[in-house]
Amino acid sequence: MTDDFTGAITLPWHWEWVPAASVGDEVRQLWGDHLVELFEDWTGQGLAAVRAALPERERAEFPFTAELLGRNSAQWLAERADSLIPGQRLAWGAAFVDGRPRWAPVPVAVEFRSPLADDPIYLMDIVGAGPRRDARDAREPLVDYVTTPFGDGLRVLGLGRSDEGLAFGRLDAAMRLDWPPTEHRPAVRMDVLLTTRVVDMALMAVIGPGVEQLMQRIANEHEGVWTVRANQGAAR
């Protein structure tokens, strides 16, 4: 690895929703199969090369397969999705370096809520960008402003230490979106909050631009799979 992260903002990310438990076991099973296919595509050749390079005895005992990675990732993500509060959805991402996944899966909790105030400035306090910043921040957090075609927001990267003494990066983001009416629904005003925590120092360097790509997707793909129900303040 190099310490030069000047190209981090251009790294491509793959983002998807984790289906909620309410969709049923059949849909979740299909989604799990989908993750297995992704991980086989992303890691199959690499794992095969690692296995082939091992001595014969170790090769036979090599425990990792693309299917195992996909199934374990699906279970882990589903459990995290089931622990969220009403109104939140779980997105997961993968960052690619030189065409191969470098970090995956990266979970992000996304909350859709009706605005609590006309002025979206209150969102700065929620994400720890104002005077009431996160008490565990070891230094002043980095704040970057985000512009989308349907509203603006910000993302905040703070460095902290857990109660167990583990260093981590917190990425909290928020945006106020105003979607125009369509033939299927009236105009929608929505506040969106995004949260993730990372402990990999290299991932800390790229998580901000990665979450910004997710924010742009949410803002732009507000129809179809990214539709938001205005009357419930939650994503489908």
Same domain, 64 and 102: no
Please compute the mean of the pLDDT values over residues 96-105 and round it to a whole number. Answer: 92
Instruction: Provide the pLDDT confidence category of residue 44 given band limits of 50, 70 and 90.
Output: confident
Q: Return the H-helix or E-strand segment holding 193.
A: strand 188-198
Where does a domain end: 83, 116, 141?
83
Query: Which has more confidence, 25 or 133?
Result: 25
User: Is the residue at 33 inside a domain?
Assistant: yes
Contact of 13 with 96, CB cutoff 8 Å: yes
Q: What is the pTM of this model?
A: 0.85
Same domain, 92 and 78: no
Instruction: Express each pLDDT in 167-185 by its tens digit.
Output: 899 999 999 999 999 888 8
Instruction: Provide the pLDDT confidence category of residue 153 given band limits of 50, 70 and 90.
Output: very high
Residue 17: is it exposed, middle or buried by C-beta count within 10 angstroms (0-12/13-18/19+)? middle
Please compute the mean of the pLDDT values over residues 129-158 and round it to a whole number. Answer: 88
At 75, list the tokens: 């279970």
pLDDT surpassing 90 at residue 100: no
pLDDT surpassing 70 at residue 61: no
Where does a domain end: 34, 65, 83?
83
Q: What is the structure's pLDDT at 35?
A: 95
Same domain, 135 and 172: yes
Please compute the mean of the pLDDT values over residues 205-216 and round it to a whole number. Answer: 96
User: Is the residue at 234 inside a domain?
Assistant: yes
Where does a domain end: 40, 55, 83?
83
Range of the domain at 33: 16-83
User: Is the residue at 11 inside a domain?
Assistant: no
CATH, residue 225: 3.40.1000
Same domain, 184 and 208: yes
User: Is the residue at 215 inside a domain?
Assistant: yes
Q: What is the structure's pLDDT at 66?
A: 82
CA distance 236 to 228: 6
Same domain, 70 and 102: no
Same domain, 129 and 204: yes
Q: What is the structure's pLDDT at 2?
A: 37
> Nearest Cα to 81, choosing from 56, 107, 99?
107
Same domain, 210 and 110: yes
Same domain, 227 and 125: yes
Same domain, 55 and 123: no
Please compute the mean of the pLDDT values over residues 207-223 and round it to a whole number. Answer: 91
User: Is the residue at 50 inside a domain?
Assistant: yes
If one counts the domains in the chain, the total is: 2
Same domain, 50 and 136: no
User: To the nearest whole number, what is the mean pLDDT of the chain?
Assistant: 85
At 36, list the tokens: 């297995």
DSSP states of 33-70: HHHHHHHHHHHHHHHHHHHHTS-HHHHHH----HHHHH
